[in-house]
Amino acid sequence: MAAALRKILTFGSMLLPYGVHELKRRLKNRHKFSADVASSLAENRQLAGLHAGRRCFILGNGPSVKGLDLSRLQGETVITVSNGYLHSDFDKFQSRYHCVPQITYVTMTSEDVIDWFKEMHSHLGGAELFLSSTEAELVRKHNLFSGRTVRYLVLGESFDERPSVEIVDISKPVPRVDSVPVMALMIAMYLGFKEIILLGVDHDRFLSTSYEYAFELKVQKGKDFTVNADGSPTMSRHDDFQQAARLWRQYRAIANIARANDIGIFNSTPGGALDEFERRPFQAWFEE
């Protein structure tokens, strides 16, 4: 009964403004990906357990990061997301991996994405890149990220339809995400990290009524269709809460997987609303 209700709520959430575009994308791309993506998925198997027993930091883009000394991440394995290469201290630590989820083409055009990817490539240093398979053809057609390792994830079904607590296998289609840190968490667990520390994963827009970043956007400025020019959400509270509920279910699923596989996920974000993981102060990771 509970599983059936979750499926109904998941489909209902597709009726939200974001969901309409997401539903169209899913119907168009369901079980369909190119030979290049299939080859990339097979290559992802080489990543299983690559960093077994180690720790990593997933660096989000929430404004809470502005109060942290990110230069302390030098020498650590860091996974950045989306526009994370714009962090003021990025050059001091340089991420090992960088993640971008499926792109919703509402205010973003293909030309916008090309410009964004070019900016990204010029700032990322030697980071390996994880993209959604929905952008694979665009990357191939325009010869983007030349010389960089680019891997793809096929973001398909919902976490609500995946009761398993096995580590998500990124060499196969994986659950879609509502926020890129969820994608990064799936990747980090597959890579074998035993301690995963979240930074700048604020998720408190429904409390603050505005959406801010830890830096000034450049190419992507004004392209987020979920917020107005002043940072206020375009969605009603009802729709915002529906989306937040879907996102929290994804984090709960990740927490259950981590617990079943003896993986520690810690939230070292100063403040923020995410309450699915144990809290630990950022500075505590460097006190020995």
Percent pLDDT > 70 in the chain is: 78
What pLDDT is stored for residue 233 in this prediction?
66
Average pLDDT in the 158-164 region?
A: 91
pLDDT at site 11: 46
Other C-beta atoms lying within 10 Å of the C-beta of residue 17: 15
pLDDT digits (tens, 9 = 90+) for 231-281: 666 667 777 778 889 999 999 999 999 999 999 999 999 999 999 999 999
Spell out the residues 6+ positions from residue 27 whose beta carbon is closer than 8 angstroms to its own: none
Residue 13 has pLDDT above 50, yes or no: no
pLDDT band at residue 14 under the 50/70/90 scheme: very low
pLDDT tens digits, 28-81: 544 467 888 888 899 999 999 999 999 999 999 999 998 899 999 999 999 999
Mean pLDDT across the chain = 85
Q: How far apart are CA 91 and CA 194, in angstroms?
A: 26
Mean pLDDT computed over 140-162: 94
Distance CA 112, CA 10 (A): 30
Q: For position 15, what pLDDT does the model report?
A: 44
Task: Give residue-wise pLDDT tens across range 117-136.
Answer: 999 999 999 999 999 999 99
Q: For the residues 91-102, what does the mean pLDDT come to? A: 95
- Residue 18 scores a pLDDT above 60: no
Average pLDDT of the segment spanning 104-127: 92
Query: pTM of the entire structure?
Result: 0.82
User: What is the three-state SS of the chain?
Assistant: CHHHHHHHHHHHHCCCHHHHHHHHHHHHHCCCCCHHHHHHHHHHHHHCCCCCCCEEEEECCCHHHHHCCHHHHCCCCEEEECCHHHCCCHHHHCCCEEECCCCCCCCCCHHHHHHHHHHHHHHCCCCEEEEEHHHHHHHHHCCCCCCCCEEEECECCCHHHCCCCCCCCCCCCECCCCCHHHHHHHHHHHCCCCEEEEECCCCCHHHHCCCCCCCCCCCCCCCCCCECCCCCECCCHHHHHHHHHHHHHHHHHHHHHHHHCCCEEEECCCCCCCCCCEECCHHHHHCC
